[in-house]
Chain A
Amino acid sequence: MTVSILLFLPVVAALAVLLFKNEAAKHAALFFAVVEFAIALIFLGRFVPDASTQFGVDLPWIPVLGVYFNAGIDGISMVMVLLTTLLVPLIILTTYQHQYKNAPVFYALILFMQAGLLVVFTALDGFLFYVGWEAALIPIYFICALWGGENRIRITLKFFIYTFAGSLFMLVGIIYLYLQTPAKTYDLHEFYSLSLDAHHQSFVFWAFFLAFAIKMPVFPFHTWQPDTYTEAPSAGTMMLSGIMLKMGIYGVIRWLIPNAPLGFLNWQALAIILSIIGIVYASIIAFKQTDGKRLVAYSSIAHVGLIAAGIFSWNSLGLQGAMIQMLSHGINIVGMFFIWDIISRRLNTRDISQLGGIAKVAPQFAIVFLIIVLGTVALPLTNGFIGEFLLLNGIFHAQIWLSAIAGLTIIFGAVYMLRMYKNVMQGETNALTLTFTDIHGSEKLVLGIICILIIGIGVYPQPILHISAAAVDNLVRSVTIKIITAGKY
């Protein structure tokens, strides 16, 4: 059993969904997404949580160029695979009460994007990684541009050009590494065993960093993000924020730092500082937002900034925190955008100042919303807490002061999130919010699953931490060895 099943099923599914008519396409897409999740669970069941790469596939693709279809799953990839395969069916389920025109195309694009994402998270070959990276970008461009809001055309083009620009620099970096390998191959492990000098590694660092910083996004490369999140259709926003930005974080862990440890060492301080500026900057802007979806978009920049800072601190604690926080952030942000999707669909507005008192008319909605808010603000016993705790711990080991500033994210987050909750849900019900009907059917199912996950992971995170622990330790150790042998410590 190899990872190729996981990678090709969504492609087949995407083509199959195109054959269905509108309503049936929805069910077919959900069916395939659930099957994909079930397969991922089987992989998880067979997965041995040590540092090795498992379920590997290695086929010649363009052998004369040293390109192989080389993919596999280790502890870090396993978490990402789980994240992707778990969220895609949930995201499809959130669209159940929507009527998209050309629905088969819409769902085919989502499934195709899933294939691209899974390739990114499992690729062990530079070329394959790049192809997956772009294969995830094209569908989301069309999802946003075809089904998005009013200004979608201009904004999605900006988004596309931003990310495409970053990824082209990454391509240059990948080709550069390829040319340095003695065997002329794109194999990741060959890349790892290179020993370039610090100057050349800095070049590699920047080539990759630009791509990943734009994708996450890290300040000051974030300007595409709030607009795109706001204009994209809800499912697109969830795909972007829940899964796609993790491509950047994963890229840093797997491709940036291990490939250019000395370059990373040169620029580590800058990378951490940029991440932390992002946290504070995005939080302050989030205070000011009146559009709920936009507020959540900025909160996402802040949360991702913390994850990035944790990774750039580069120790096992921070990295483990990043792993579990990627999963938690994915779950929470999908829940949060779904909440705003429900509100805006029922009331035709996302303006917080027009809302209020929804809790009185929709008690179930109030409960799930509250749980998701608490997860997002990292209350103990919710999934957000364990991740942020580990991340701050990791940053603390690198730099105490930075950790203190980064810790502001929890306070800031609590302020803007709880204030948002208060303004939307509590207070007096007005003429508009009186019409709000409580959640039902598929909405209840999605939000129920999300709440169970938030509390479940919050109470007992150990199984998930256990998946990636060995792989993370191994990665950190091998990078440290590389740095020490280069005589930089």
Chain B
Amino acid sequence: MNTLILISIIPIVLLYLGLYKAKKALLPVSIIGLIVALGLAVAQWTTPDTAQPTFHGMLLFNNFSIAFSAITICSTILILLLSKGYFESISNHIAEYYAIILFSLAGIVVMVSYYNLTMLFIGIEIMSVSLYILAGIKKNDFASNEAALKYFLMGAFSTGFLLFGITLIYGASGSFNLEAIRNYAVTTPHLDPIFYTGIVLIIVGLCFKVGAAPFHFWTPDVYEGSPTLITAFMSTVVKTAGFAAFLRLFSACFSTVSDFWAPALVIIAIITLFIGNITALYQQSFKRMLAYSSISHAGYLLFAIVALGAGSANSILVYATAYSIASIIAFGALILVKQHSDSDSFESFNGLSARNPFLALVLTIAMLSLAGIPLTAGFIGKFYMFSGALTHYQGWLVIIAVINAIISIFYYFRVIIAMYFHTAERTEVVVPAYYKFVLGFSALVTIIIGIYPAFISKLI
């Protein structure tokens, strides 16, 4: 639990550092703070899982929470390392960036460890409000402003749904506590209709947050308009947390009434897959392609919730890890390429293999991982999702997923084709040392998980 406290304190320290103009200290303090927080989280790991709810049943920091806190903290560290020199170039108030990102992370830690619906709401709000600011942090940029406003309006709207859902659940069960809600759902012979209505509204609210179709309309514009690193943060850390929260609620409270909500989620998953993949095919901008591909990955992640079972948490963990590190590589590469060509179209990647072989190689690994090719982490993630869905005899759902995996090859390979098989008369791309570390490390992790997934395969 100290993790949460520490992550809440670091941003305040950062704000003071900003006040005293200690710009150089910002990044080291954030990184060291996060590493300590990570250590504190991991230290609480127990086998078997014996964690008990704390703070009067508000939070439950069990192995599930530790694993998801760890992956979100790690992703944040990687993204912050990429921010070296990036924030300075777009604004003067850099202390605020670091602080707000970490505030958002504090909300995320709450989201993965809540044991009471009010904490879920508070966690989501801490995270979201921070993100509204981050999306609009390029104050003079039109697209950034649009992204912030759109995100805020849509986010506020979806929070309304979520909150209404929570109230209805409370109205039916008389409690915000997950265990009490579960007991209500298990023991009551005829559940109150408002309980079901509550579930539907919560699904709508959470699907907004994770960007699942048909509640995805904000995603492409917000992802495209926000500063690239913030987009990376939103599409990796935030998405992972959203699914962790989604899964915790549904496996803890609603697993006994899955007959009611599973069909709805199956349809949402299918629509999400098709909309994400087919729209991604037609994009000319790499960044927008990544936005749509993130929608389609949300579709695959929903499989784990549809096929709710003992392995669901682990499936989401593996998939989200694979997806996050590959996306971080993709966004990192995009930042570098954009610095040189001032465009985020596919054409700006032309001939990258000659301009910088290292960057081309890691980006290829990332694309192969996102496409789910064996020997990369992405394949292991897809493998889990397919196995989970097949366990529940959702054979045709898997067939649809396979068709979508095939479609996704087209747009992921477009990047590889641009890098290796098209030539361009452009200058070499220089990769700074920080980037080299982050991209190389992420690519290595992608390959290691792909070849030897045993160490991550049964964590939780």
Contacts and interface: CB of A to CB of B under 8 A. Distances in A.
B440 interface: no
A152 B391 CA distance: 40
A66 B15 CA distance: 50
Interface stretch (B104-112, B127-135, B293-301, B451-459): B451-459
B400 to A, nearest CB: 11
B387 interface: yes
Interface string A216-260: 000000000000000000000000000000000000000000000
Nearest to B420: A146
Contacts of A142: 420
B422 to A, nearest CB: 8
A131 interface: yes
B409 interface: yes
Interface in B399-452: 399, 402, 405-406, 409-410, 413, 417, 420-421, 452
A135 interface: yes
27 contacts: A61-B454, A62-B457, A64-B454, A64-B457, A134-B373, A134-B374, A134-B375, A138-B375, A146-B421, A152-B421, A157-B410, A157-B417, A160-B413, A164-B373, A164-B406, A165-B402, A168-B405, A171-B383, A171-B402, A172-B386, A172-B395, A172-B398, A172-B402, A175-B386, A175-B390, A179-B387, A179-B391
B402 to A, nearest CB: 5
A130 interface: yes
A161 interface: yes
B405 to A, nearest CB: 6
Contacts of B390: 172, 175-176, 179
Interface string B373-385: 1110001000100
Interface SS of chain A: helix, strand, loop or mixed?
A: helix
A463 interface: no
B370 interface: no
Nearest to A64: B458
Contacts of A61: 452, 454
Contacts of B391: 179
Nearest to A134: B374
Contacts of A60: 454
The 7 closest A-B pairs by CB, nearest first: A134-B374, A64-B458, A168-B402, A131-B374, A165-B406, A62-B454, A153-B421
Contacts, number: 70
B364 to A, nearest CB: 9
A235 to B, nearest CB: 18
A169 B409 CA distance: 15
B7 interface: no
Contacts of A171: 383, 386, 402
Contacts of B375: 131, 134-135, 138
Given A134-B373, A169-B402, 12 more contacts: A62-B457, A65-B387, A134-B374, A135-B374, A146-B421, A160-B409, A160-B413, A161-B410, A168-B406, A172-B390, A175-B387, A203-B395
A203 B457 CA distance: 28
A145 interface: yes
Interface in A55-97: 60-65
B280 to A, nearest CB: 15
Given A135-B375, A171-B386, A62 B405 contact: no
B378 to A, nearest CB: 12
B317 interface: no
Contact of B406 (A161, A175, A203): A161
Given A161-B406, A161-B410, A145 B386 contact: no
B207 interface: no
Contacts of A134: 373-375, 379
B212 interface: no
Interface string A169-185: 10110011011000000
Contacts of B406: 161, 164-165, 168
Nearest to A157: B413
Interface string B217-254: 00000000000000000000000000000000000000
A22 to B, nearest CB: 16
Contacts of A172: 386, 390, 395, 398-399, 402
A131 to B, nearest CB: 5
B355 to A, nearest CB: 15
Interface in B330-384: 368, 373-375, 379, 383
B377 to A, nearest CB: 13
A171 B372 CA distance: 12
Interface in A98-135: 130-131, 134-135
Given A135-B375, A168-B406, A63 B421 contact: no
Contacts of A175: 383, 386-387, 390
Contacts of A168: 402, 405-406
A164 B421 contact: no
Contacts of A157: 410, 413, 417
Contacts of B417: 145, 153, 157
B457 A65 contact: yes
Contacts of B457: 62, 64-65
B374 to A, nearest CB: 4
Contacts of A161: 406, 409-410
Interface string A138-149: 100010011000
Interface in A149-168: 152-153, 157, 160-161, 164-165, 168
A178 B384 CA distance: 13
Q: In this complex, which of B368, B374, B410, B421 has the most chain A Cβ atoms within 10 angstroms of its Cβ?
A: B374
B366 to A, nearest CB: 14
Nearest to B406: A165
A157 B371 CA distance: 14
A164 B375 CA distance: 14
Contacts of B454: 60-64
